[in-house]
Amino acid sequence: MGRTRAGKFAAVSVPALAVSLGFGVAIAQGLVSATLSSANGFELAGSKTTATSMKLGLGTAQVAGAAGATDKQAAVADMAGTKLTGMCMAANDTIPVFGNIGVKIATAPADITDVGAVTLNAASITAGTTDLPKTTVGQAASEAGVSSSSANPNGFALTSVSQSGTDLVDLTGMNATAYALTLESGLTLSSLNVTPTTSTATCG
């Protein structure tokens, strides 16, 4: 597990596979809040992602391993009122002698999961068609209230906030390579499928 301090996320060298399996267990037990992290990164995807607000800033993921800690650049996205359609996570690790082992954790493609307040620390975040309500680009991170702002208060930020509750942040085909995902509220899933594989696990 990692923790956030001084605007950096410490992603300790926990195998991505263990993180994903831990996520499945946490869901099954009805988690209240959780931070999931991996120095290797894991895939997070949804066919449709909506939120009442999104604050996007820049930060670093401090990756700690046997050889010491290194910093990697990261995008930090804070989202509120978040809903994911077809939520999926996939992780892969190489195990000596055995080789690659991966796991895919997903809901049914049409299921909408209410994940509430989310902080995503990622190497990359991509999406197809993107609709943003009232948007401010270039606001200081501290003024925008981005969670990574303590490390660089005057850093770049983008904010997009719903004005009516119906003009939502809307990302089609969101896919992220995540170092860490923090869920602030509980999850209720109508379905859950955990699939281990000896080939490469993906959300594609």
Euclidean distance between CA atoms 141 and 153, whole angstroms: 5
CB 158 within 8 A of CB 27: no
Residue 24 within a domain: yes
Q: What is the 3-state secondary structure (H, E, C) of 106-147?
A: ECCCCCEEEEEEEEEEEEEEECCCEECCEEEEEEEHHHHCCC
Confidence bin at 36 (pLDDT 50/70/90): low
Single-letter residue type at 176? A
Check whether 10 has a pLDDT greater than 50: no
CB 145 within 8 A of CB 57: no
In this prediction, residues 116-144 reach a mean pLDDT of: 93
Check whether 30 has a pLDDT greater than 90: no
Euclidean distance between CA atoms 143 and 153, whole angstroms: 8
What is the reported pLDDT for 102? 87
What is the reported pLDDT for 185? 77
Q: To which residue do tokens 């896919």 refer?
A: 175
Count CB-CB contacts under 10 A for residue 95. 10
Residue 203 within a domain: no
Euclidean distance between CA atoms 121 and 71, whole angstroms: 13
Averaged confidence pLDDT in the chain: 81
The 10s digit of each residue's pLDDT in 63-117 is 655 566 677 788 999 999 999 999 999 988 877 877 888 889 899 999 999 999 9
Q: Which residue has the higher pLDDT, 186 or 5?
A: 186
Residue 202 within a domain: no
Q: To which residue do tokens 């046997």 refer?
A: 66
Euclidean distance between CA atoms 189 and 114, whole angstroms: 9
Residue 173 within a domain: yes
Residue 201 within a domain: no
Confidence bin at 59 (pLDDT 50/70/90): confident
Rounded to 5°, the CA angle 98-61-118 comes to 95
Euclidean distance between CA atoms 163 and 160, whole angstroms: 10
Residue 78 within a domain: yes
When mean pLDDT is compared across 28-32, 122-126, 164-168, 177-181, the lowest value belongs to 28-32
Residue 98 within a domain: yes
Domain, as residue range, for 104: 3-196
Confidence bin at 183 (pLDDT 50/70/90): confident
Does an H or E element contain 27, and which? helix 16-28
Residue 118 within a domain: yes
Per the structure, how many domains does the chain have?
1
Confidence bin at 176 (pLDDT 50/70/90): very high
Confidence bin at 32 (pLDDT 50/70/90): very low
The 10s digit of each residue's pLDDT in 145-164 is 988 777 778 889 999 999 98
As given in the structure block, the two tokens for residue 60 are 């670093």
